[in-house]
């Protein structure tokens, strides 16, 4: 057993399996009972301008509304998050903990990026009106 790490038990994984099954059943039930908020059938002759993206893509739409070149920082950000497990080079963690001292920079950057994405999503969702104009 490694120092500072807790050995897991099979009972814990059985609990995880049961809770995952209950969550999956609840999602399937909600999907069957609650109608999806779809728009009318697409008309190629009439394009809605501009249509809002899904909530999880609104922050990218907000960035692109400022400049079409703002998609590149979003792509760099995606690559950064893919490389996140390998960023704290040379820092070997001895004990499992939240925000360890050896990875403080990586943790701070990650939290800052997540807060920025949430703020951009809130602006795009609540403060954008017709024709993507700001409304307060």
Residue 74: domain span: 52-86+101-132
Q: 14-66, pLDDT tens digit by residue?
A: 889 999 999 999 999 999 998 877 777 878 888 766 667 777 888 888 888 88
Considering the domain boundaries, does residue 114 fall inside one?
A: yes
User: What separation, in Å, do the N-terminal and C-terminal C-alpha atoms of the chain show?
Assistant: 57
- Which phi and psi (to 5°) does residue 130 adopt? -65, 145
Identify the residue whose tokens are 């951009």: 120
How many domains is the chain built from?
Answer: 1
Alpha-carbon distances of 94 from 2, 3, 7, 52, 63, rounded to whole Å: 9, 7, 15, 46, 39
Q: 86-128, pLDDT tens digit by residue?
A: 776 666 666 667 887 777 888 888 899 999 999 988 888 888 8
Residues forming a β-bridge with 47: none
132 conformational bin, left if phi > 0, alpha if psi -120 to 50, beta if neither: left
Considering the domain boundaries, does residue 121 fall inside one?
A: yes
Which pLDDT score, from 0 to 100, does residue 115 have?
94
Considering the domain boundaries, does residue 39 fall inside one?
A: no
Quick check: pTM over 0.85? no
Considering the domain boundaries, does residue 18 fall inside one?
A: no
Considering the domain boundaries, does residue 127 fall inside one?
A: yes
Confidence grade of residue 5 (pLDDT, cut at 50, 70, 90): low
């Amino acid at each position: 057993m490694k120092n500072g790490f807790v050995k897991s038990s099979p009972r814990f994984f059985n609990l995880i399996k049961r809770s995952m099954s209950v969550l999956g059943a609840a999602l399937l039930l909600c999907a069957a009972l609650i109608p999806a908020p779809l728009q009318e059938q697409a008309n190629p002759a009439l394009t809605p301008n501009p249509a809002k993206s899904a909530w999880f893509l609104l922050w990218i739409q907000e960035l692109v509304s400022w400049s079409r070149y703002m998609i590149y920082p979003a792509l760099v950000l995606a690559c950064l998050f893919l490389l996140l497990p390998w960023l704290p080079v040379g820092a070997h963690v001895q004990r499992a903990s939240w925000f360890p001292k050896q990875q403080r920079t990586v943790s701070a950057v990650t939290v800052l990026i997540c807060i920025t994405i949430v703020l951009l999503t809130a602006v795009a969702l609540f403060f954008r009106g017709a024709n993507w104009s700001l409304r307060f």
